[in-house]
Structure 1
Amino acid sequence: MFSFVAALSICTICVVNGYPQGPPTSACSDMYPTGHGANAQTGTPYFQITVDQSTYSADGTVTVNLIATSNYYEGVFIQARRATSNCSDGTNDTPVGTFTIPSGDTFLQLMTCSGVSGSAVSQKTKVHITNKSITWTAPNPAIGQIYFRGTFVKNEKTFWTDISSPIVKPTGDSTTSLSACPVRTTMADNGSGRLYKPVSLVILLSTIVTVLSRGV
């Protein structure tokens, strides 16, 4: 009985403290850190994603830089997405291509999203970072214009979800640049018609712990 109560208490702490070891795979779609229990910041971010080239080829690579222009970040979540002229057509909802991270890096880790190993990058520990570089490898055949989308976390309640790189085009594409789509910035509808409220979950777990500890 005591171990079960202790496990529930630990689970409650996890909900409050977010995910210092990296986001769960359930966040792969909208890349929103729901476990933090807060809305994203809407002011000018002090983070940016830059790339070393404006075009890519099939199986080619692009260096992606994750920069804190001031201050630092202690959490990050990065994917490549298709740029589009129609954000409602679903073509930009999943990551494309794969990443590699520098050998021996102790902050970053690869993630499996949409069943593809290495299709996303996140942190695996919580430290203060000002600049990291990762490498993206394009799929073959090329999949049109892309951009890199990122969520940057300064601390549990201070994070931005609307960071994106310039558009990167396939080699030879001279058409007008497409767009990055709007991203989720609030604790929005989770599909059940209710707002996600981690505090309510904490209260529920605390109640269970209290009941169990009384031997009921």
Structure 2
Amino acid sequence: MTNLVIIAGVLFLTVCNYVNGFPDGSPVDACVKERPNQPYHGKFRSQPIDTSPYQILASSTQYSPGKQIKVAIRGDTFKGFFIQARDAKTNEWLGRFAQTPNTKVHSECSAITHADPKDKKEATLVWNAPTTGQGQVYFTGSVLKDYAVFWADLASK
């Protein structure tokens, strides 16, 4: 009987983990793993970009020391996101996102992710340019409708 209880407990925890995925945001290793900026959700893969109901909209593509750029994610209701700022010429991580409600910042790689599993209609983020230099920036990442349905490699407009 004890083995049956243990097996049932393990099965329950496995199902809960599968259903919830990463309710408090993407881990920092999303920055550097084999498929950067994409969630690793087992057998599930990104949907074709041309079918995405989401847009990443930036208030500017130009940065200079101390400039703030607003970044919005809009479209259908979604559960989560992982967005990075990158220099348009070098593709290197750049600047730092500001902590905003219900987000988690990964300053190690200039990224921001959701911090709760609630449905979202829109996310408004604030990115801070580096204190030196100027140039062009773009924002890229993933938006998750749910654990199994997501779009990766989206880029700002």
Q: Deviations over 1:122-142 (max 9, x none)?
A: 111111111121111111222
Cα deviation digits, residues 136-165 of structure 1 (max 9, x gap): 111122253220012100011110002111
Alpha-carbon contact 1:32-1:151 (below 8 Å) kept = yes
Q: Distance in 2 between matches of 1:39 and 1:55?
A: 32
Which blocks of at least 5 consecutive residues in structure 1 are unaligned? 85-90, 167-216
The aligned residue for residue 111 of structure 1 is 106
1:189 aligns with: none
Amino acid of the structure 2 residue aligned with 1:135: V
Q: CA deviation at 1:7?
A: 8.5
In the alignment, what sits opposite 2:88? Answer: 83
TM-score norm. by structure 2 comes to: 0.80
Matched, 1:27 2:18: no
Q: 1:98 to 1:24 in 2, by over 3 A?
A: same
Partner of residue 99, structure 1: 97
- In the alignment, what sits opposite 1:37? 43
Q: Which amino acid is the alignment partner of residue 32 of structure 1?
A: Q
Pair 1:13–1:77, CA change in 2 (3 A): same
Structure-2 residue corresponding to 1:16: 18
When the two structures are superposed, what TM-score results if normalisation uses the length of structure 1?
0.60
Unaligned residue ranges in structure 2 (runs of 5+): none
Q: Among the aligned pairs, what percent are the same residue?
A: 29
Does structure 1 residue 147 correspond to structure 2 residue 138? yes
Asked whether the equivalents of residues 105 and 113 of structure 2 are also in contact (C-alpha less than 8 Å), the reply is yes
User: 3-state SS of the aligned residue for 1:72?
Assistant: strand
Ranges of 4+ aligned residues in structure 1 off by more than 6 Å: 4-7
AA partner of residue 48 (structure 1):
Q
Conservation of the 8 A alpha-carbon contact between 1:149 and 1:165: yes
For 1:111, give the aligned amino acid. H
How many pairs does the alignment contain?
A: 150
Counting strand residues as a fraction of each chain, which structure ranks higher? 2
**Counterpart pick for 1:66 among 63, 73, 85:** 73
Provide closer, same or farther for how the CA distance between residues 7 and 138 of structure 1 changes in structure 2, counting only shifts above 3 A.
Answer: farther
Residue pair 1:22, 1:125 contacting (<8 A) in 2 also: yes
CA spacing shift, 1:14–1:95, aligned 2, 3 Å: farther
Amino acid at match of 1:44: T
Q: Which has the greater radius of gyration?
A: 1
Post-superposition CA distance 1:149-193 (Å, at most 9, x none): 121000111100021113xxxxxxxxxxxxxxxxxxxxxxxxxxx
